[in-house]
Amino acid sequence: MEANIPKRKDPGKSLRIKVISMGNAEVGKSCIIKRYCEKRFVSKYLATIGIDYGVTKVQVRDREIKVNIFDMAGHPFFYEVRNEFYKDTQGVILVYDVGQKDSFDALDAWLAEMKQDLGPHGNMENIVFAVCANKIDCAKHRCVDESEGRLWAESKGFLYFETSAQTGEGISEMFQTFYVSIVDLCENGGKRPITNSSASFTKEQADTIRRIRNSKDSWDMLGVKPGDSRDEVNKAYRKLAVLLHPDKCVAPGSEDAFKAVVNARTALLKNIK
């Protein structure tokens, strides 16, 4: 449980933490770090080979934090190199490209890789995760919208940020909040503080919104089948409406999901005698 809490000489002031980046190749991990540390952007893709390491100092409240950043290569080829570096981490910058659905779908696999490498005694609960939905400057190519990303992150208790390493949007805010959360975690005995957002909606609500998004037609959306009666449709509708009503549900994407359910019910009832 306390394996990840960093040791420090002066408990009042200085703190040393380890941060890693994770996510598919080419999503912008190195550029996000470069943007924050060096205030610049490189448009040419220079794949990270294995791991890049850097040290930086930041101030959080009255504490000086020495941050060791391990920027990981996302390519599967470097798995053997990466797996040496997961342990003793306090913070993860987990990045996907909003224009590459694959990189968003891969986030669960990244968590699984980390969990596997930490082994049975590793604890992911005392690590701060900052999810970066990166390349938001490329609005034309965007295929993972904010509510989908936010829902995934917040339902796991992770921080979520919309970022662009190119323009710098969201980058300072992300790092600032990330470091404050890590310090809070260290001061909280290694427990991740409960965020308002993660406490305010249930797993059932999050799963239902995801299911609605991925449903192939109105029947599928309401969880009924062709041939079912008006009563069955209405019953299924009422159950979803209670779960997702905007007055009751603040999960990202709930408003759109609620509207979709209303429309699905209207469409189905039109065709049932």
List contacts with ligand GTP (CB under 6 A).
Answer: 23, 25-31, 42-48, 73-75, 134-135, 137-138, 164-166
Q: Edge-to-edge, what's the strand order for the sheet holding 51-60?
A: 51-60, 63-72, 15-22, 91-97, 128-134, 159-162
Complex with ligand GTP: residue 134 or 181, whichever CB lies closer:
134
With 0-12 CB in 10 A as exposed, 13-18 as middle and 19+ as buried, what is 205? Answer: buried
Q: How far apart, in whole angstroms, are the C-alpha atoms of residue 68 and residue 89? A: 10
Complex with Mg ion: residue 48 or 126, whichever CB lies closer:
48
Q: Looking at the DSSP assignment, which residues form a beta bridge with residue 130?
A: 93, 159
Interaction between residue 134 and Mg ion (CB under 5 A): no
| Smallest separation, CB 41 to Mg ion (Å) | 13
| Smallest separation, CB 27 to ligand GTP (Å) | 4
Interaction between residue 24 and Mg ion (CB under 5 A): no
Complex with ligand GTP: residue 44 or 57, whichever CB lies closer:
44
Residue among 4, 24, 30, 254 that touches Mg ion (CB under 5 A): 30
Interaction between residue 48 and Mg ion (CB under 5 A): yes
Number of Cβ atoms within 10 Å of the Cβ of 116: 12
Work out whether the CA dihedral 156, 140, 71, 106 comes out positive or negative. Answer: positive
| Residue ranges in contact with Mg ion by CB under 5 A | 29-30, 48
